[in-house]
Amino acid sequence: MPTSTPPPPTASAPSLATLVQRHQALIARQRNAFTLRMHRALSWLQRAEAAGSDDDMAFICLWIAFNAAYAQDTGGGTDNASERQTFRDFVGQVCRLDADKALPALVWQVFPGPVRVLLGNQYLFQPFWDALNHPHSDGRIPQHWREAFDDARQRVQRALAQQDTERVLYEVFVRLYTLRNQLMHGGATWNSSVNRAQLRDGRALLARVLPVLLGVMMNHPAQFEGKPFYPVVMD
């Protein structure tokens, strides 16, 4: 059963201190949009590590750290195919540049159980909520989400069977984006027992995946150029 405090990083996952040192080395060469994004991401990662048993706060901080690094919309919505494809391309690029294969190790060796649980949870599947929030005129809940959920579950099962890390991570992040929305848009109670299991799993997974992701990006900064949200403007 997942614990409130994430386990320490594996040898293949860089520690926060290591990431900070690598970031400082990049800054010593040149300050640019990439180093600003990394600075912001590392600040929120540090705050997440200081959250203790507060899974809600830790998850929010980890997601902000991820968003600062990615610096684009995650494409978690159901109506923007281009954003979803951009996000999937990003995940694929990180996986391909992960020379140490740390991400496959996390997905298939450390978190195989939580990954399957998260991907099989209908309450993290956005079309379920879209249907629930837009009932028919007679109050009945549209059931088209079930077909979409079954299709997604089949895709996930194929990806799991093939150990397709890129596809599985993409699907996990899409599900966690729904969890993020529930928190950030006031759709959940702090420390609620209702979403506790998925929050703990989501926190633990992000706490291990994010340092690897940031490490890969800092190894290949030219491959992850992009303007940060709200750049620093000097008066």
The structural domains of the chain, with segments of one domain joined by +, span 16-224
Portion of the chain with pLDDT greater than 70, in percent: 91
Rounded CA separation 104/120 (Å): 20
Q: Are 85 and 159 in contact (CB under 8 A)?
A: no
For the chain, the C-alpha Rg in angstroms (whole number) is 18
**What is the SS3 assignment for 139?**
coil
Q: Are 13 and 211 in contact (CB under 8 A)?
A: yes
Give the pLDDT mean for 22-28: 97
Half-sphere exposure of 31 (CA within 13 A, CB side): 4
Identity of the residue numbered 228: P
Q: Which residue has the higher pLDDT, 198 or 11?
A: 198
Token pair, residue 32, equals 């640019």
**Which pLDDT tens digit goes with each residue over 193-234?**
999 999 999 999 999 999 999 999 999 999 998 888 888 888
**Residue in the structure block whose two tokens are 């059931």:** 143
